[in-house]
């Protein structure tokens, strides 16, 4: 093998777990398989119930460090006529892979998100997602996801891979707009989700 072949053989893309990554175990307090995770924040575009224009994704715990979710493609989600906007599909992937970190009780944010669009997705159909963790190396969490049409075994329409980075509570308190951050800190409902992440402001 020459030097170039050697480098190619050892190349790992930014969303591939490095050789020293470990497969993390689900947190002992993570919800049982099939149980809903609930929203992490009522104003979240992906899962919040107080955002009428949002995706209203209902995420459920899966086996191990995995989740499933689905949402119906609405007219407000269009890019081309009658077809979903690709960015919204990426948003949904971001949300469901974000929820995978929840199964670990690790607060984490997206560092990198890659999406393969495999088939067009029409309005009025239901997209079923599954997402799972493929490794952890220090603060870096590596997740994968799939989207299928009309059922968990339906036509594969998109795939995604992501690198999430574990962060401290300060990531949110120091960077978020003060009025929303303050509202969250004063809202006991949100304290429950803070507890899930073992964050005590
Ligand atoms: C008061 C209220 C409190 C409420 C709290 C509620 C708890 C809620 C919990 C959970 C909410 C979940 C919400 C889910 C929503 C869906 C998920 C999203 O959409 S999140 C939003 C989009 N993402 C961002 O806005 C990140 C913006 N980026 C950053 O802030 C930084 O870049 C960050 C944190 C990702 C990394 O910055 P660094 O300074 O902490 O760390 P560095 O050293 O740069 O990176 C760490 C490692 O990661 C690699 N890395 C980082 N970014 C990378 C990239 N793009 N590609 C490849 N590697 C990357 C680096 O190379 C480094 O690796 P090496 O340790 O050296 O091996």
Residue 56: inside a domain: yes
**Would you say residue 201 lies in a domain?**
no
Q: Is the CB of 40 inside a 6 Å radius of any atom of ligand 1?
A: yes
Q: In this structure, what DSSP letter does residue 195 have?
A: H
What's the rounded Cα separation, in Å, for the pair 159 and 113?
Answer: 11
Q: What is the pLDDT of residues 38-81, one digit of tens each?
A: 888 889 999 999 999 899 999 999 999 999 999 999 999 999 99
What distance in Å separates the CA atoms of residue 58 and residue 19, rounded to the nearest whole number? 34
User: Which pLDDT value is given to residue 4?
Assistant: 73
Task: Indicate which CATH number applies to the domain containing 46.
Answer: 3.10.129.10
| Mean pLDDT taken over the chain | 91
**Cα gap 163→165, rounded to integer Å:** 7
Cα 196 to Cα 193: distance, rounded to the nearest angstrom: 5
Range of the domain at 66: 22-167
- Distance (Å, rounded) from C-alpha 23 to C-alpha 111? 19
Tell me if 42 is assigned to some domain: yes
- Do residues 103 and 67 touch, judged by C-beta distance below 8 A? yes
For residue 16, tell me if it sits in a domain.
no
In degrees to the nearest 10, what's the CA dihedral of 184, 187, 193, 198?
Answer: 80
User: Given the CA of residue 109, which atom of ligand 1 is nearest to it?
Assistant: 20
User: Would you state the pLDDT for residue 11?
Assistant: 67
**What pLDDT, on a 0 to 100 scale, did the predictor assign at position 199?**
53
Find the radius of gyration of the CA atoms of the chain: 18
In a domain, 175, yes or no: no
Q: Among residues of the chain, what percentage have pLDDT more than 90? A: 80
The CB of 12 under 6 Å from ligand 1? The reply is no
Q: For residue range 128-157, list pLDDT tens digits in order.
A: 999 999 999 999 999 999 999 999 999 999
Helix extents (H) in the chain: 3-10, 86-103, 170-175, 178-186, 188-196
Taking Cα atoms as reference points, which of 62, 67, 65 lies closest to residue 46?
67
Q: How many domains does the chain have?
A: 1
Residue 97 included in any domain = yes
Instruction: Look at residue 78 and tell me if it is in a domain.
Output: yes
Instruction: Please give the distance, rounded to the nearest whole angstrom, from the Cα atom of residue 168 to the centre of ligand 1.
Output: 10
**Is the pLDDT assigned to residue 200 strictly greater than 50?**
no
Q: Is residue 185 part of a domain?
A: no
Nearest CA to ligand 1 atom 50: 111
Q: How far is the CA of 33 from the centre of ligand 1 (A)?
A: 27
């Amino acid at each position: 093998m020459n030097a170039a072949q050697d480098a190619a053989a050892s190349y790992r893309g930014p969303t591939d777990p490095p050789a020293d990554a470990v497969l993390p175990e689900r947190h002992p307090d993570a919800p049982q398989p099939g149980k809903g995770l609930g929203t992490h924040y009522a104003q979240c575009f992906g899962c919040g119930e107080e955002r009428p224009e949002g995706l209203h994704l209902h995420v459920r715990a899966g086996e191990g460090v995995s989740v499933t979710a689905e949402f119906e493609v609405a007219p407000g989600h269009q890019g081309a006529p009658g077809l979903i906007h690709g960015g919204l599909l990426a948003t949904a992937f971001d949300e469901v892979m974000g929820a995978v970190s929840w199964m670990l009780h690790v607060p984490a944010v997206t560092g990198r998100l890659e999406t393969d669009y495999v088939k067009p997705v029409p309005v009025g159909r239901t997209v079923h997602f599954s997402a799972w963790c493929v490794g952890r190396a220090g603060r870096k969490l590596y997740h994968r996801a799939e989207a299928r049409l009309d059922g968990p075994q339906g036509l594969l329409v998109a795939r995604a891979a992501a690198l999430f980075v574990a962060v401290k509570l300060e990531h949110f308190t120091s960077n978020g707009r003060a009025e929303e951050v303050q509202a969250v800190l004063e809202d006991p409902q949100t304290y429950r989700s803070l507890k899930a992440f073992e964050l005590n402001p």
